[in-house]
Chains A and B, each alone.
Chain A
Amino acid sequence: VLYHASAWGFIAMFWWTDRYLPVTVPNFDQKFNLTYFSLRTIEQYVIFSIPAFLFVSGYFIAVATGRRQSTISWKLVGARIKTLIIPYIIWSVVMLLLEFVQGRAFNPAEILLILFTGRATEAFYFVPLLIQLYILAPFLVLLAKKNWKLLLLVAFLIEFSIRGMGYLFTLGIDSPGLDQLAVLTNAWFFPARIFWFVMGIVVGFHLKSFREALNRFRWALAAVTIFLLILGIVEWEFLLQRSGEVWIAPYETMVDGFYALSFILAFLAFEELKLPFSKRFENLGLKSYGIYLSHTLVIILASKIVYRFAPQILGYQIIFQPLLIFLGLGVPLVLMEIMNRSPARKYYVYLFG
């Protein structure tokens, strides 16, 4: 929610500027001001979220394997995919209908491709990605039981090499065969995010040892995490400048990957630490799939309503951001609660997972 709210914040600052200032758009006069860096900090801070989701999913695979089974059953894989895919298709169709109403036409092949690659909205790539990882899970468990260190190393090398390739594309560096490898950088394709899932499985099998080892370095991990957060912000400005473009579509760099890794390890190391409002965050976490699927639509609609009816708000991120976050979280939670208390309750899982 924070990530997408900040993305709409940038749209308001640079592409919708003419709604509250006498300028032509796009207009980048507000770049590098305090608001810009505040939004960048939020965007950078939450970049650990998809790796963390994948880590938790991998961890669940270790839990579902248990101590006696050699690997997880295909029945469990099927059950997980069913729980993920039905709400995903429903919300994807809703997003496509929204675009259709706005005048975009689709043919059946295009719709299938959109569903297959999670492009109904930017955030939805996560579901096809997770489904691929679940399909690989029975094999990954076998490998994790055989040689977890090697598996972790290979997964790390695959993912971080792909992240490294991203720099070449951003900086416009041409290299033989690079175009053929470009498919690997797609976020919906499993090699690009395999490390977090594998790490979840491995940590799930060796939780106690990992915790004990990490606990000794917990303050160092916290310091490294903060350092990498700042480095990620600086790195992005550097890449933006070197790309020669005024703006480039965000993607996750190697520094972002190290930040996410450090964040997850620090979280494990500080596991005993009770944070304020942790119960509330836990409750939100339990509804995270439903929030994830439905918040994008709410944020898009809220942004467009503000653009049309109250454009002055776009010039004040201090109002616009809390509004998007409040609605992006609040509306899905209200919808989920209404459904949970209604006679249609047994269909809840098909809408919100």
Chain B
Amino acid sequence: MDKTQILLDYVKDELARGRAPNLKATDDLLNAGILDSLGIFQMVTFIEKQFGIQVPDEDVVFDNFYSVEALINYLQDLEES
């Protein structure tokens, strides 16, 4: 399974808890109320555990976390760097 699908499944199941079954990778997670202060922390922990990627605290910002697509782009950049 690719990272986008893994993250989408995680957001739908763990963060939205079934409230957003039709969530798309481009949907805004913050403005939709799916991702809150604790949710972002939960997401970072999941990424670190699932993909073995260390996310620096300074990078946990809206630009990288507002959607699954933004997150995937950020993780690709992080891996390449």
Determine if B65 and A349 form an interchain contact, defined as CB atoms under 8 angstroms apart.
no
User: What separation, in Å, do the CA atoms of A69 and B65 have in the docked complex?
Assistant: 13
A11 at the interface (CB under 8 A from B): no
B-binding segment of A14-22, A222-230, A280-288, A308-316:
A280-288
Residues of A at under 8 Å CB distance from B? Answer: 56-57, 59-60, 62-69, 73, 75-76, 79-80, 82-83, 207-208, 271, 282, 285-286, 288-289, 340, 345-346, 348-349
Q: Which of B34-64 contact A (CB under 8 A)?
A: 36-38, 40-42, 45, 57-58, 60-64
Partner of A285, one of B36, B38, B40: B38
- Interface range for B: 20 to 34
Partner of B63, one of A67, A207, A345: A67
User: What separation, in Å, do the CA atoms of A66 and B40 have in the docked complex?
Assistant: 13
Residues of B at under 8 Å CB distance from A? Answer: 17-19, 30-33, 36-38, 40-42, 45, 57-58, 60-66
Partner of A207, one of B41, B45, B57, B62: B57
Determine if B19 and A83 form an interchain contact, defined as CB atoms under 8 angstroms apart.
no
Determine if B33 and A345 form an interchain contact, defined as CB atoms under 8 angstroms apart.
no
Partner of B18, one of A60, A75, A345: A345
Given contacts A79-B32, A207-B57, A285-B38, contact A63 B62 (CB under 8 A): yes
Determine if B17 and A60 form an interchain contact, defined as CB atoms under 8 angstroms apart.
no
B44 to chain A, nearest CB (A): 10
Partner of B38, one of A76, A271, A286, A340: A286
A235 to chain B, nearest CB (A): 32
Determine if A286 and B58 form an interchain contact, defined as CB atoms under 8 angstroms apart.
no
Determine if B38 and A346 form an interchain contact, defined as CB atoms under 8 angstroms apart.
no
A265 to chain B, nearest CB (A): 16
User: What separation, in Å, do the CA atoms of A170 and B33 have in the docked complex?
Assistant: 42
Q: Given the complex, which residues of A lie within 8 Å of B17, measured CB to CB?
A: 340, 345-346, 348-349
Determine if B58 and A69 form an interchain contact, defined as CB atoms under 8 angstroms apart.
no
User: What separation, in Å, do the CA atoms of A208 and B60 have in the docked complex?
Assistant: 12
With most chain B CB atoms within 10 A of its CB, the pick from A64, A82, A285 is A64
Q: Given the complex, which residues of A lie within 8 Å of B42, measured CB to CB?
A: 286
Partner of B61, one of A63, A75, A80, A348: A63
Q: Given the complex, which residues of A lie within 8 Å of B61, measured CB to CB?
A: 62-63, 65-67
Determine if A76 and B19 form an interchain contact, defined as CB atoms under 8 angstroms apart.
no
Determine if B18 and A66 form an interchain contact, defined as CB atoms under 8 angstroms apart.
no
A288 to chain B, nearest CB (A): 7
Partner of B19, one of A282, A286, A340, A346: A346
Q: Given the complex, which residues of A lie within 8 Å of B65, measured CB to CB?
A: 63
A344 to chain B, nearest CB (A): 10
With most chain B CB atoms within 10 A of its CB, the pick from A60, A75, A289 is A60
Pull 17 A–B residue pairs with CB atoms less than 8 Å apart, ordered by A.
A62-B61, A63-B40, A63-B62, A65-B61, A66-B66, A68-B63, A69-B62, A82-B33, A83-B33, A83-B36, A271-B57, A282-B45, A340-B17, A345-B17, A346-B17, A346-B18, A349-B19
User: What separation, in Å, do the CA atoms of A271 and B56 have in the docked complex?
Assistant: 12
Q: Given the complex, which residues of B lie within 8 Å of A346, measured CB to CB?
A: 17-19
Determine if A80 and B63 form an interchain contact, defined as CB atoms under 8 angstroms apart.
no
User: What separation, in Å, do the CA atoms of A59 and B65 have in the docked complex?
Assistant: 15
Partner of B31, one of A56, A59, A75: A75
Q: Given the complex, which residues of A lie within 8 Å of B57, measured CB to CB?
A: 207, 271
Chain A residue at minimal CB-CB distance from B70: A66
